Amino acid sequence: MSAVSPSSASDAIIACDGLSKHFGGVRAFTDVAFQARRGEVTAVIGDNGAGKSTLIRCLVGVHVPDAGSIVFDGREHPFSNPDGARKAGIETVHQNLALIDELTVAQNLFLNRELVRRIGPFAFLDRKAMKREARSMLSRLSINVPSINQRVRRLSGGQRQAISICRAVGSGAKLVVMDEPTAALGVQETANVEALIRRLREQSVSVILVSHNFDQVRRLSDQIWVMRAGKMAATVRASETSGNELVALVTGAA
Amino acid sequence: MSNPTNNAPAAHSAGAPEESRPSLSALLLDPSFWADWASVVGLVGLVIIFGIAQPVFLSVANLQALLLASAILVVLSIGQTFVVATSGIDLSLAAAVMFGAIVLGLVNAAGYGILIACVLAVLATSAIGFLNGLIITVGKIPDFVVTLGTLSAITGLGLILSGGEPTMVGSTFLLKLASGSFGPFGYPVWVAISAVIVAHIALYHTRFGVHLLATGGQTESAGALGIRTNRVKIAAYTISGFCAGIAAILLVARIGSAEPLINTSLLLNSVAAVVLGGVSLFGGRASILGPAIGALMLTALVNGLTLLSVSAFYQPLAVGAIVVLAALIMRYQK
C-alpha cells in the first residue's frame, strides 16, 4: 500500500487537491487529493456514504466544492456547472443513462449535437450523415445493436449502457466519467460493458470509473483510489493489489 | 414509425444498411400497426361506409367541401400536436381562436387595414401561448391547470372587449380567402396544407423537432444533455398559439364576423385528432400527418352523418365513441 502521492501534473488529465464538500452540517468529504492519468482507467471505490459520488459530482461540475482546487487538462477551476464541464471535455455516463426512450439510437447518439446542413437562414438535420457517423461510432467500439433506427426503449439494459458510453466517447470527450456502469446489469451484459471499457482503455480514452465491485475494478482499471468515511484512504496500482487488500482498505481493517 | 425488427442482435448488424422488413401478413396481425395508422384506417373506413350509404359523399363537390370544412381543425390539431409532444396539453386553444377572432374584428372595426388586423390577431394568440408556456415552465404549474385558467380568462377578456356582441368583418380579402380557390382546393385548404408541410419539416428535419420530442420523452435526461427544456416547452405553446391565430383568421373569413359566444367543438376535436393521429399523450412521439388525417376523419364523420340526415345531436356521441376507441387501440402502440 502506498501513500497518496502527488505525481507530476503533466500526465494527469484531472487532478484535485485539498478538496472539501459539506452539505449543511453533513460532511461529504474533507481534504481529498485525487488524480486521474491521461489514457488510463482510474477507479474510485469505497463503501456507501464514503463520499465517492459527491467527489465525482464535484469533478463534473454538478456540485461546487467548498474548498480545494481542481485542475482539468491544465486549467484551474475550469467550470461551475455540468454544461461547462461538457464543453471543457468531461462527459458523464449518468447512472440513469440520460437516454430518450422514444428516440432512435442514432438520434440519441447525436442528441443536442445534431449535424445540420444550412440552407440560407435555415438549418436542417443531416440525417444521412448522422446515421453514417452513428454506425461508425458503434462499430469503432464494436457495439452491436439491432439497428440504429431502433427506438432505445426496445434495447436491453446492456445495450442502453453501451449507447450511453458510446455517446460520451463519440463526442470527443477528453475524460469519460462512469458512475456504476454495471450496477443494474446481468452477468452477460456486465461482461459486454466491461469489454467495452477495456476497448476504451486500448484506445487510450481517459476514464474515471466508480464501482462497488472490487473484482471488476481490478480487471478494468490501472489505478485504484479508495475512499473511506469522507477521506481519500489510499491509492494503489490495480496490478499490484489483491481483492483482499482492497476489502481491507475500504473497510479500514488494514 | 420505426420498423419492427427481431430483437436478436446479429453480429455487426449495426453496420448493416437496413433491417429486414416484416411480411405483410405479420404486419396486419400486429396491433401496433393498427395503433400507428388508426387515423388512416379510420378515414378509409369512413369513406367506404359513407360512400356506400350515400354516394353523394364521394362527389367532388362534397369532398371539396369536406376539405374546406376541415382546414381550421387541421391547423389547430397541428398546434395541439406540438404541445402534446412535450407531454403537455393546451386547453385554451379554442378560446384563443375566439380571442384572436375578436381582436381581428375589433382592430378591423377600428378602421385599421385587414392585414394589420390579421397580424395583430396572430400576435395576440401567440402571446397567449407564450404566456401559457412561461407560467407552466417558470411557475412550475401543471399545464392542465394553467391552460384551463387561460381558457376562462381569455374567454372573459374576449367578452369584455367585444361587449358580448359579434363584430361584422366585411373584408374582400377575407371573402376571397374563404371562397377563392387555386387548382382543386380552396385557399383555406392550401393554408392547412402549408401548415402541415412546415410543421412536418420543423418536427422531423430540425434540431428543434428532436429537442421537442426529447423534452416530451424524458425531460430530465434532455436537460442533463444541455437541452433547454423550458425554452422548448415555451416554444411549443407559442406555436400552438400561433396556430390558433391562423385558425382565427380562417374562422372569421368563413363566418364573416367575429363571434365571442360561438360554441364550437374545436378544443375537444383538436385533442381528439391528436389522439387519433397516434401522438402519445405522454409526450415523446408525434407526427404531423397523423393528427392532420385525424382532423380530416372527424370532419368526414360529421359530414357523412349530416348527409345521411342523422340528427346533429348524434355527432358528439359518434366523435366521443371513436376517440375512446382510438385511445384503446393506442394501448398497443410499441
Q: Alpha carbon B192 to chain centroid distance?
A: 10
Q: Do A124 and B285 touch (CB under 8 A)?
A: no
Q: Return mean pLDDT, chain A.
A: 86
The answer on A49 and A10 residing in a single domain is yes
- Indicate whether A106 pLDDT > 50: yes
Q: Across residues A196-201, what is the average pLDDT?
A: 88
> Residue A6 — pLDDT band, cuts 50, 70, 90?
very low
The answer on A148 and A213 residing in a single domain is no
Domains of chain B plus CATH, in order, are 35-330 (1.10.3470.10)
Q: Return mean pLDDT, chain B.
A: 88
How many domains does one find in chain A?
2
Please report the pLDDT score of residue B8 as a whole number.
Answer: 39
A147 touches chain B (CB under 8 A): yes
- Indicate whether B2 pLDDT > 50: no
Beta bridge partners of A236: A224
Backbone angles phi, psi at B281, to 5 degrees: -70, -10
| Distant-in-sequence, close-in-space partners of A202: CB < 8 Å, separation ≥ 6 | none
The shortest C-alpha distance from B333 to chain A (Å) reads 12
The answer on A136 and A79 residing in a single domain is no
> Residue B17 — pLDDT band, cuts 50, 70, 90?
very low
Contact between residue A234 and residue A2 where contact means Cβ atoms under 8 Å apart: yes
> Residue B53 — pLDDT band, cuts 50, 70, 90?
very high
Please report the pLDDT score of residue A172 as a whole number.
Answer: 77
Comparing CA positions, the residue from B145, B148, B161 lying closest to residue B99 is B161
The answer on A69 and A116 residing in a single domain is no
The answer on A190 and A119 residing in a single domain is no
Contact between residue B82 and residue B140 where contact means Cβ atoms under 8 Å apart: no
- Indicate whether A4 pLDDT > 50: no
Q: Is the pTM of this model over 0.90?
A: no
> Residue A88 — pLDDT band, cuts 50, 70, 90?
confident
Contact between residue B84 and residue B279 where contact means Cβ atoms under 8 Å apart: yes
The shortest C-alpha distance from B297 to chain A (Å) reads 26
The answer on A55 and A41 residing in a single domain is yes
From A142, A170, A198, the end of a domain falls on A170
Please report the pLDDT score of residue B120 as a whole number.
Answer: 97
Which of B121-135, B167-181, B186-200 shows the lowest per-residue confidence on average (mean pLDDT)? B167-181
Q: Across residues B60-79, what is the average pLDDT?
A: 95
Q: What DSSP character marks residue B288?
A: S
pLDDT tens digits along B288-308: 999 999 999 999 999 999 999
Q: Is the pLDDT higher at B322 or at B15?
A: B322
From A120, A141, A170, the end of a domain falls on A170
Among B14, B207, B284, the residue with its CB nearest the CB of A100 is B284
- 3-state secondary structure at position A26: strand
Please report the pLDDT score of residue B22 as a whole number.
Answer: 62
Q: Do B225 and A111 touch (CB under 8 A)?
A: yes
Mutate which of A103, A154, A166 to disrupt the B interface (most B C-beta within 10 Å)?
Answer: A103
Q: Do B11 and A144 touch (CB under 8 A)?
A: yes
Please report the pLDDT score of residue A10 as a whole number.
Answer: 59
> What residues make up the domain containing A56?
1-89+174-254
From A114, A135, A170, the end of a domain falls on A170
The answer on A146 and A30 residing in a single domain is no
What angle is formed at CA B268 by the lines to CA B263 and CA B270, rounded to 5 degrees? 110
CA distances from A42 to A85, A193, A239, B291, B312 (A): 18, 16, 12, 51, 72
**A-chain residues near B3 (CB < 8 A):** 147, 149
A64 touches chain B (CB under 8 A): no
The shortest C-alpha distance from A126 to chain B (Å) reads 8
Which of A116-130, B8-22, B220-234 shows the lowest per-residue confidence on average (mean pLDDT)? B8-22
By C-alpha distance, the chain B residue nearest A171 is: B225
The answer on A8 and A75 residing in a single domain is yes
Beta bridge partners of A36: A14
Amino acid identity of residue A53, one-letter, is: S
The answer on A246 and A216 residing in a single domain is yes
Q: Across residues A86-113, what is the average pLDDT?
A: 88
Comparing CA positions, the residue from A100, A108, A96, A101 lying closest to residue A153 is A101
The answer on A138 and A246 residing in a single domain is no
The answer on A180 and A84 residing in a single domain is yes
The shortest C-alpha distance from B213 to chain A (Å) reads 8
Q: Is the pLDDT higher at B276 or at A253?
A: B276
Complete DSSP assignment for B203-250: HHSSHHHHHHHHHHH-HHHHHHTT--HHHHHHHHHHHHHHHHHHHHHH
Comparing CA positions, the residue from B189, B195, B193, B194 lying closest to residue B177 is B189
The answer on A84 and A3 residing in a single domain is yes
Reading the block at residue A212, the C-alpha cell is: 462497488
pLDDT tens digits along B237-246: 999 999 999 9
Please report the pLDDT score of residue B161 as a whole number.
Answer: 93
Please report the pLDDT score of residue B10 as a whole number.
Answer: 39
Q: What is the largest CA-CA distance in chain B?
A: 72
Q: What length is written for chain B?
A: 334
Please report the pLDDT score of residue B191 as a whole number.
Answer: 96
User: Looking at residue A37, which CATH number applies to its domain?
Assistant: 3.40.50.300
How many whole angstroms separate alpha carbon B293 and alpha carbon A243? 63
pLDDT tens digits along A17-74: 999 998 888 888 999 999 999 999 999 998 888 888 888 888 888 888 888 888 988 8
Please report the pLDDT score of residue B224 as a whole number.
Answer: 81
Complete DSSP assignment for A114-172: --EEEETTEEEE-HHHHHHHHHHHHHHTT---S-TTSBGGGS-HHHHHHHHHHHHHHTT
Contact between residue A56 and residue A208 where contact means Cβ atoms under 8 Å apart: yes
Strands annotated E in chain B: 167-168, 181-182, 185-186, 257-258
Please report the pLDDT score of residue B199 as a whole number.
Answer: 97
Among A96, A112, A151, the residue with its CB nearest the CB of B226 is A112
- Residue with grid cell 405553446, as numbered in its chain: B237
Q: Do A149 and B227 touch (CB under 8 A)?
A: no
Predicted ipTM?
Answer: 0.81
The shortest C-alpha distance from B21 to chain A (Å) reads 12
